[in-house]
Amino acid sequence: MQKRNKIYILILFAIFPLSQIIKAQSNTLYFMDGIHQSGSLNPAYQNSCNGFLALPGIGGFSVDAANTGFDFNDLIHPGTGTYKDSLVIDFQNIKSKLANSNNLLVGTQVPILGIGFWVRNSYITFEISNKTKARLAYPEDLIKITDGNANYIGVDNPLEIKGFGPNIINYNEFALGFSKQITHRLIVGGKLKFLAGNASIESRRGELKLFTEEDTYKMTLVTDLQLNVSGPINYIYDANGNISDFEFDDSNIAGSIISTKNVGMGIDLGASYLLNDEIKLYASVTDLGFINWRANTSNLSQSGSFVFSGFNLDSVWTDSDYDEAQAIVDSISDFFSFTQTESKFTTFLNTNIFLGATYELTNFMNVGLLAKTYFYNRKVHQAFTLSANLEPTKWFTGTFSYSIMNREYKNIGLGIGIKTGPVQFYLVTDHLNAAFWPKNSKTFGMQFGFNFYFGCGKRDNFSMLKDKKSQKEIDFM
pLDDT, tens digit, for every residue of 98-144? Answer: 877 788 888 899 999 999 999 988 999 999 999 998 888 888 877 77
pLDDT of residue 254: 60
Q: CA–CA separation, 25 vs 9, rounded Å?
A: 30
pLDDT of residue 315: 53
Q: CA–CA separation, 40 vs 444, rounded Å?
A: 19
325 backbone dihedrals φ, ψ, rounded to 5°: -60, -45
Q: How much is the pTM? A: 0.81
376 forms beta bridges with 379
The residue count of the chain comes to: 477
Q: CB of 326 within 8 A of CB of 4? A: no
Q: How far is CA 433 from CA 25, 59, 283, in A?
A: 17, 25, 28
Q: CA–CA separation, 383 vs 404, rounded Å?
A: 6
Output the CATH code of domain 2-474. 2.40.160
Torsion of CA 24, 25, 27, 33, to 10 degrees: 150
Domain ranges across the chain: 2-474
Low-confidence ranges of the chain (pLDDT < 50): 1-24, 461-477
Q: CA–CA separation, 447 vs 24, rounded Å?
A: 8
190 forms beta bridges with 178, 269
Q: CA–CA separation, 121 vs 118, rounded Å?
A: 7
pLDDT of residue 258: 67
pLDDT of residue 30: 95
Helix (H, G, I), strand (E, B) or coil at 195: strand
Q: CA–CA separation, 255 vs 264, rounded Å?
A: 18
Q: Considering only CA atoms, give the Rg of the chain.
A: 27
Q: CA–CA separation, 230 vs 259, rounded Å?
A: 12
